[in-house]
Homo-oligomer: A and B are copies of this chain.
């Protein structure tokens, strides 16, 4: 295979009998270069397929036009939507995107972040893992003057902008809908207690219950460990077999809701007549379930876009003081059959 060495600035300068600096300026259309020269150089460059060696440029300018993005899981509808949004925003501004996943492990997150640092990304977009409590690996970026934007799951020990779903409000509205449909005994299968999103959704759930003077029962609030279908099934069983079973179950995510629906079908409990079920995230499966699952659309694509825009903004602003702003992207309640009682 003939390895065609790329043509360099030096080659152009030599061939055209001009200096390297002139060639450089002509290519970048600097002021103070004759039209003629610009013409000549640009034509030559195009004809010979000149592509500037970006490593050299990066080296000189000490930036890479590359953003690092660290997510818990790539194979995940919500996160891949976020990636897609970030990708588009990055593209629009001429940035590239380096991706890593942590599989919800703090150790892998550390490793991924160090990889990003070694890869000399200009900035970092991250959704921290469930395990993460220490965030010194993120502080390292800030210490080097590299902006960080957190999205979805975040730590508030860090002064960075954050882009998230409005979890509290989303949960509030989701449960409000259940109440409007006549549910009185509403359970909530929550996530890990220490995770911010879980706390916020729990908060919204509790608030709407108290606003409507509905029963609050600690036994109705189990916490998932790994947010799985199996846990949904098990907790649904536990809830429904208790002495005081709920008439609605609000789930931390659609996957858990799937487990719940499976249990209810196996137990021949009708949805929504006997128990209403509400999910969260609007995965494709929510639409496919029988009956279809009411859920909350978080607009991951938008979150990804917004997070990237924010990051690039702080990359381009001279004022390096990081904001601590929390941007909440409004969600939409998607009402389907699992919560819609007839009449």
Query: Which residues of A pack against B, CB within 8 Å?
Result: 1-4, 6, 51-56, 58-59, 62, 64-66, 73-77, 80-81, 83-84, 87, 91, 96-101, 111, 115-120, 142-145, 258, 283-285, 288-290, 320-322
Contact = CB atoms under 8 A, between A and B. Distances in A.
Contacts of A322: 1
A145 B285 contact: no
A38 to B, nearest CB: 21
Secondary structure class of chain A's binding surface, majority of residues: mixed
Nearest to A76: B80
A115 B283 CA distance: 31
Given A96-B98, A98-B97, A285-B285, A75 B64 contact: no
8 smallest CB-CB distances across A and B, nearest first, come from: A3-B145, A290-B290, A59-B59, A75-B80, A55-B59, A285-B288, A288-B288, A74-B84
A83 B87 contact: no
10 contacts: A1-B321, A2-B143, A3-B143, A51-B118, A54-B119, A74-B87, A99-B99, A288-B288, A288-B289, A290-B290
Q: How many copies does the complex hold?
A: 2
Contact of A3 (B59, B76, B144): B144
Contacts of A285: 284-285, 288
Contacts of A284: 283-285
Given A120-B53, A285-B288, A288-B289, A98 B66 contact: yes
